Structure 1
C-alpha cells in the first residue's frame, strides 16, 4: 500500500501527549530540571524519532549514542564538550550533535527545541 498525505505528521496539528520526567540523580550537576517531551514520530525500526523537547533551568551530563538535529524554538542553553569548549545556543539556532558527543547541557532560560534523532546502533 502506498504512503499518502494522511501519513504526514504535522507537528502543529497533532495532539501528542506530553511526557514529563526528571533526570537520574547521577546525571544532574545543577538544579532539578524537569524535562518535557512530545515525541511526534518514531519509525517502525525505532531508529528515527522527531518531536519537541523542553527543559527547565539546570545542568546535566550528556552522552549521545544518537545523531540529533536541534532547532531551538525558545530559551537558551550552553553545551560543553568533555574538553571544556562551550557553545551557547538560543532561539533560532539550528545544529547537529553527532553520536559519540559527551559533555554537559546547561539550560540558562527554559529551553524548547524541535529534535530529529537517528539512532544508528538500534536493531
Structure 2
C-alpha cells in the first residue's frame, strides 16, 4: 500500500516531455512539465503518479483513459462546447480517444491513474 497526503513529495518530480511525445497541439510555446511515476509505467497497462505543468494551452488526445485529481493550480478543460474550470480537489475522467483542450491558468499539479 502507498499512502500520499496532499503535498507529499510533490517536489520530487522529474522533467518530462510527455506532451511532445503524446503529439499534443500547442497554442504558443510548449509549457514546462514534470512527472513522477508511482506505479506501473507509461508503456504498460496502467500507470499512476503525479504530473505538473506550467501555464500554457494545448490540445491532448488521450491514448488511454485517465482519472485525475487536481492538487494545485487552476485549469480550464474543454471538449467541444463543454468546459469546466478546475482547481485543487476537483477530479475528472477522460475516456480513451477523446481530445481535451487544457488552458492552464495557474501552474497545475495533478495525481493521475491511466488505464487502457
Whether contact under 8 Å (1:9, 1:41) holds in the other structure is no
Residue 32 (structure 1) shift? 3.5
Larger radius of gyration: 1
- The equivalent residue for 1:63 is 61
The answer to whether the 8 Å contact 1:80/1:87 transfers is: yes
Per the TM alignment, residue 98 of structure 1 is displaced from its structure 2 partner at its CA by 1.2
Unaligned 5+ runs, structure 2 = none
Structure 1 segments unaligned to the other structure (5+ residues)? 1-7
Per-residue deviation at 1:11? 4.1
Shift of 1:9: 3.1
Q: Which residue of 2 aligns with 1:107?
A: 104
8 Å Cα contact 1:14/1:40 also seen in 2: no
Match of 1:72 in 2: 70
Offset of 1:68 from its aligned partner? 0.7
Q: How many residues align?
A: 109
Structure 1 position 92 matched with structure 2 position 89: yes
Kindly provide the CA deviation profile for residues 3-39 of structure 1, in whole angstroms up to 9, marking residues without a partner as x.
Answer: xxxxx33446889x63213443862113431111001
Describe the superposition over 1:34-79 as per-residue Cα deviations: whole angstroms up to 9, x where unpaired: 1110011107x91111101111000111001211111111101111
| Pairs within 5 Å for 1:7-86 | 8-11=1-4, 18-22=13-17, 23-24=19-20, 27-42=25-40, 46-81=44-79, 83-86=80-83
Q: State the TM-score, normalized to the length of structure 2.
A: 0.79
CA RMSD of aligned residues (A): 2.6
